[in-house]
Amino acid sequence: MSNRIQALYDIGQSIWCDNISRSMIDGGELKRLLDIGVVGVTSNPSIFMKAITGSSDYDALLDKLIGQGLDTMDLYEGLVIPDISDAADILKPIFESTGGVDGFVSLEVSPKLAYDTEGTIAEGKRLFATINRPNVMIKVPATEQGMPAIEALIGAGINVNVTLIFGLAAHEQVMQAYLNGLKILDESGGDLSKVTSVASFFVSRLDVMIDKALEEKKADGAKVDHLFGKAAIANAKLAYARFQEVFNADGAFGELASKGARVQRPLWASTSTKNPAYCDTMYLDGLVGPQSVNTLPPVTIDATLDHGQSEVAITKDVDQAKSIMKDLAALEIDVTKATEILRDNGVVLFAQSFDELLDNLKRKKAQLRTAG
């Protein structure tokens, strides 16, 4: 009997899990998720920080690595890369059965490199080669400096998950960077069908910021109740509409598609509902659509199975989405500026998580030395 996640897959939307840990892999939780229809996994520095510092699951391996005299960055990779590699191996049957569409696990380059093009390219290539699995995606943030890195990595045949996309302008640049990368790969004689990319478009955080601005307008007497909780999905619907235009086989993408190139699917990220007044599947139900991915934290996966919707919604009420954006602009709420702030804040938050994890590893290393 089909469940709601499998029903979404039948529509053309893939559900990936926005979480990974050693306990998920060893304890069978990842396998259980795949059995119910989840077809991919994403990670980020915050996820790994919580997994490694919030449990004892990594202690035995960490003690072993510390005993080898590794520095802190090598300790980090010594813990993280086995998780990514093992998850990729578990997901490989899905990768093969879907012809390379799904079955991916993502690993992000160091957030310290978010504004370093050459550093991102070098680390992306190194990580992809080190893990050496065809179903690994390297995560690159959608900063200005990230765009040429996306081109270069795609041009080298490396799968890329572009992260921290909040706005339409950034999404436009990301899609163009992907197309440019495909052209580079094609000109070098590469196989376009062997490289895959997703554009991770963050959702819920935009509503948090815009709703706060709306509260201020409401306090001043403006009639804004109809706009609360509407900006994020409206923004995503406009992004999806543009995705359909860019990756239309009759347009510029057509020639690349004829050589085996895949579309760069939108991936809806940050999909847990931050406002308890909103439905916990809000950022699933409103974004259902073919040729897309929704990456859900475990709690939202459970909610989806229980009461999530499985009807196409992303292509509906696009004119209303445009109207919402016009209404916000009329209130002098600058959505574009908000998305830029959110992207920059996202880089900072990931960097903080990364620093917290490295500091934790340093402390454990020092404690082991003292105990020895």
pLDDT digits (tens, 9 = 90+) for 273-301: 999 999 999 999 999 999 999 999 999 99
**pLDDT for 269:** 97
Average pLDDT over every residue of 168-189: 98
pLDDT at 372 over 60: no
Which tens digit of pLDDT belongs to each residue from 189-209? Answer: 999 999 999 999 999 999 999
Q: What is the DSSP letter of 41?
A: B
User: What CA–CA distance (Å, rounded) separates 125 from 138?
Assistant: 9
Question: Which structural domains are found in the chain, ordered by start?
Answer: 4-204+261-313+340-371 (3.20.20.70)
Tokens matching residue 245: 């235009």
Provide the pLDDT confidence category of residue 53 given band limits of 50, 70 and 90.
confident
pLDDT at 371 over 80: no
**pLDDT for 254:** 93
| Coil, helix or strand at residue 138 | strand
C-beta neighbour count of 341 within 10 angstroms:
14
| Coil, helix or strand at residue 72 | helix
The rounded mean pLDDT for the chain is 95
Output helix, strand, coil percentages for the chain, rounded to the nearest 5: 60, 10, 30
Distance of CA 4 to the CA centre of its chain: 21
Q: What is the CA radius of gyration of the chain?
A: 21
Enumerate the β-bridge partners of residue 165: 201
Q: Catalytic site residues?
A: 139
Which secondary structure element, helix H or strand E, spans residue 296, and what is its range?
strand 292-296
Q: Dump the DSSP string for 190-221.
A: --GGG--EEEEEE-HHHHHHHHHHHHHHHHTT
Provide the pLDDT confidence category of residue 368 given band limits of 50, 70 and 90.
low
Average pLDDT over every residue of 9-31: 96
Its pTM surpasses 0.85: yes
- Among 325, 306, 350, 313, smallest CA distance to 115 is for 350
pLDDT at 79 over 70: yes
As to burial, measured by CB atoms within 10 angstroms (0-12 exposed, 13-18 middle, 19+ buried), residue 258 is exposed
| Coil, helix or strand at residue 121 | helix
**pLDDT for 1:** 59
Q: What is the DSSP letter of 250?
A: T
- Residues of the chain with pLDDT > 90, as a percent, come to 88
